[in-house]
Amino acid sequence: MNELAVACRLPLADFALDVDLRLPGRGVTALFGPSGSGKTTLLRCVAGLARAAGRVGVNGDTWQDDARGIFLPTHRRSLGYVFQEASLFAHLSVRANLEFGLKRIAEAARRVEWQAALDLLGIGHLLARDTAALSGGQRQRVAIARAILRDPALLLLDEA
């Protein structure tokens, strides 16, 4: 079953996030709404960075199911998350930031080619740069490439 299934409820200070949705497990899905409507909170719940009461499943794998006492920690979920503010390691070069993503997946399991990710995002010429020397758009593209190189089952982009 290729789908993202989320059913969760999270009471917040100003409102309650109450979501029940099933999305295709392949392709691109966009979630949009006004500022403050819970989009980032929903992504954080799917990623396991925020805990909501409910259930999260991706392509047949259960990441959270409170009724069965299941909660897979973020680092064990096959996901890539690119935050609204690109979070690169400031002490690493662009190349080292990308290599960090590769270290998280066994070489035999890699399906995304290094050069393909560089070409897709047009960042090959940036490899030797310090991340502090990048523009905002370059930082986002490097963060996306790092997430793609990890070959996640789910790629979450928060206003990337």
Torsion, Cα 95 151 8 39, to 10 degrees, reads 50
Task: Give the tens place of pLDDT for each residue, 46-94.
Answer: 999 988 889 999 888 999 999 999 999 998 998 989 988 878 999 999 9
What is the sign, positive or negative, of the torsion defined by CA atoms of 61, 51, 49, 75? negative
Helix boundaries (H) for 19-153: 39-47, 94-102, 114-121, 136-149
**Residue 135's beta-bridge partner residues?**
none
Task: Give the tens place of pLDDT for each residue, 85-140.
Answer: 878 999 999 999 999 878 877 888 788 889 999 999 999 999 999 999 999 999 99
Task: List CB contacts of 20: < 8 A, sequence separation 6 or more.
Answer: 6, 7
Of 12-16, 18-22, 97-101, give the lowest mean pLDDT range.
12-16
CA–CA separation, 23 and 61 (whole Å) = 14
Confidence at residue 151, expressed as pLDDT on a 0 to 100 scale: 84
pTM of the shown model = 0.83
What's the token pair of residue 41?
A: 């909170």
Confidence at residue 73, expressed as pLDDT on a 0 to 100 scale: 95
Task: List CB contacts of 128: < 8 A, sequence separation 6 or more.
Answer: 93, 94, 95
Q: Is the distance from CB of 98 to CB of 147 less than 8 angstroms?
A: no
